[in-house]
Amino acid sequence: MEGSRAATSYGEHVATELTTALVERGHAIITGAAYGIEAAATRATLTALGTPIAVLAGGIDRPYPAGHTSLLERVAATGAVISEVPPRHTPTKWRFLARGRILAALAQQIVIVEAGWRSGALNTATHAIALDRFLGAVPGPITSAASAGCHRVIRELDAHLVTSADDIPTVDNT
């Protein structure tokens, strides 16, 4: 699950509801564990006793954001915290872009809950399309800058419009 770091209360509510429903259906939830939408999805996964997976943009020993150290410790205890970056390396802009590629490669479905027009979540969306993954986006108010990126991927990348977990396909990994 992807989305804005500067999430609205609407976005955090939707991320929590979608995540809880997906966990109940047996989905593992993969995020970058950033503030906003990704944090809401990660917390909801833990609350619903699901399997959280966090992909870091820096080394495993460099939790980012630092304010999520305890959240990432909880993820590691019940799921996985992964990175392609060696220890001692800090997150950089290009590493966040690479993280989007990893998120898209690991997930069978990418759902963007809120994203601004130039959000990093759009990078992940592009990778998801290239990898033939399901790409969904939650619509929001047309006047909300926090939903402009979601509307953009629906329009430009033909993302599926997601209004509930029923709109997200279940993948059989057996």
| Domains in the chain, number | 1
Residue 66 falls inside a structural domain: yes
Q: What percent of the chain has pLDDT over 70?
A: 98
**Nearest by Cα to 156 from 140, 135, 131, 141:** 135
Q: Residue 172 has what pLDDT?
A: 62
Q: At what angle do helices 37-47 and 69-78 cross, to 10 degrees?
A: 40
Q: What percent of the chain has pLDDT over 90?
A: 87
Q: Residue 171 has what pLDDT?
A: 67
Residue 174 falls inside a structural domain: no
Residue 94 falls inside a structural domain: yes
Can you tell me the mean pLDDT for 64-87?
Answer: 94
**Nearest by Cα to 37 from 15, 19, 52, 18:** 15
**Nearest by Cα to 27 from 1, 61, 60, 66:** 1
Specify the CATH number for the domain of residue 116: 3.40.50.450
Per-residue pLDDT tens over the stretch 125-160: 999 999 999 999 999 999 999 999 999 999 999 999
Query: Range of 152's domain?
Result: 9-167
Per-residue exposure over 55-87, b if at least 16 CB sit within 10 Å of its own CB, e if not: bbbbbbebbbeeebeebbebbeeebebbbebee
| C-alpha dist (Å) from residue 86 to 30, 62, 80 | 20, 10, 16
- Cα–Cα distance, 70 to 52 (Å, whole number): 14
Angle at 15 between CA 3 and CA 166, to 5 degrees: 115
Residue 136 falls inside a structural domain: yes
What is the overall mean pLDDT for the chain? 94
3-state helix, strand, coil in the chain (%, to 5): 45, 10, 45
- Cα–Cα distance, 101 to 73 (Å, whole number): 23
Residue 173 falls inside a structural domain: no
Q: What is the pTM of this model?
A: 0.93
68 pLDDT more than 90: yes
Per-residue pLDDT tens over the stretch 162-174: 999 999 988 665 4
Residue 31 falls inside a structural domain: yes
